[in-house]
Amino acid sequence: MQQTSKKFKLVSNKKTRTILPNMFTLVGVCIGLTSIKFAFDERFGLAIICIIVAGLIDGLDGRIARLIKGTSQVGKELDSLTDVISFGVAPAFIMYLWQLNTLGRVGWLVCLIYIICVALRLARFNVNSENQVSWKENFFEGVPSPAGGILVLMPLIYSQSELQFFNIDYGYFVPVLFILISILLISKIPTYSFKKIAVPRRLTIFLLFGVVLFFGLLLIYTYNVIVLSSLLYLILIPISIYHFQNLNKKFKNNNIENEEHEDIL
């Protein structure tokens, strides 16, 4: 009998490529859940760092999946569920244990509102992400959940930083901030997604230097850098709205001109 040699494979190449980004996503949710454990132990500094690391992982897993062509529907849904936990449930629990518990039932209601808004924002993102015009991929509809998770932690991060410019009454500021961020999450305000950033080759070295400098400062002055970065992000929101409106106006004008040319022909 003639034996034919066959290559034995446990999984197909496509399935293999989806494992790595999904592993990153699962590691991110573990770190997000661990932040709640640190908050229960009143180690709020470590809880903040866990959320930041979870945010970095969330920014990497999707890019890795696209880079190695390992995107999948399961990975997309898993990423959304992870975001609800890491940037919805975890920040809400951290802030409740730090400050909102002093408000009793109102504090818990504020947490519930925020978590629900995170879930609604992610559900809308999953539905609308496949029907985007190419230039609109540079914008999110509303504030993304990772940014929202860090923004609601801003009072806690500010209290841990050395940038004590103002005396804040956290009893009033924290619930008001929670409601404002919840509204921004489910709003249709365009915010920069930073998915497609075209950098000229001659400026690549400066971009790499800037990234290294940022993460170096983040390691040394963690809370200060997070506070300043969050303020910069808030400043960019009105700029992104203005930029989006200009691009949308140009896109509509081009469509009108094309329709007029078609009618003439």
Strands 139-141 and 190-192: antiparallel
Tokens of 129: 């992400």
Give me the chain's average pLDDT, please: 83
Q: Classify residue 2: in a domain, yes or no.
A: no
Q: Classify residue 231: in a domain, yes or no.
A: yes
- 1 has pLDDT over 50: no
Under 8 Å between Cβ of 193 and 137: yes
Instruction: Give the number of domains in the chain.
Output: 1
Instruction: For Cα atoms 251, 252, 254, give the angle at the middle one, nearest 5 degrees.
Output: 65
246-257 confidence digits (pLDDT tens): 888 887 777 665
* One-letter-per-residue 3-state SS of 33-49: HHHHHHHHCCCHHHHHH
* One-letter-per-residue 3-state SS of 101-159: HHHCHHHHHHHHHHHHHHHHHHHHHHHHHHHCCHHHHHEEECCCHHHHHHHHCHHHHHH
DSSP class of residue 3 equals P
Rounded Cα distance between 51 and 70, Å, is: 25
Q: Classify residue 3: in a domain, yes or no.
A: no
pLDDT at position 58 = 84
Q: Classify residue 102: in a domain, yes or no.
A: yes
153-184 confidence digits (pLDDT tens): 999 999 988 888 878 888 889 999 999 999 99
Q: Classify residue 178: in a domain, yes or no.
A: yes
DSSP class of residue 72 equals -
86-123 confidence digits (pLDDT tens): 999 999 999 999 999 999 899 999 999 999 999 999 88
Q: Classify residue 201: in a domain, yes or no.
A: yes
209-225 confidence digits (pLDDT tens): 988 999 899 889 989 99
CATH number at residue 204: 1.20.120.1760
CA 134 to chain CA centroid, Å, is 20
What's the pTM value of the predicted model, to 2 decimals? 0.83
Residue 13 backbone phi and psi in degrees, to 5: -60, -40
Q: Classify residue 205: in a domain, yes or no.
A: yes
- 147 has pLDDT over 50: yes
From the number of C-beta atoms within 10 Å of its C-beta (0-12, 13-18, 19+), residue 236 rates as middle
Q: Classify residue 86: in a domain, yes or no.
A: yes
Q: What domain range includes position 162?
A: 13-264
40's CB contacts (< 8 A; 6+ apart) are 97
HSE-CB at 210 with a 13 A cutoff on CA atoms is 6
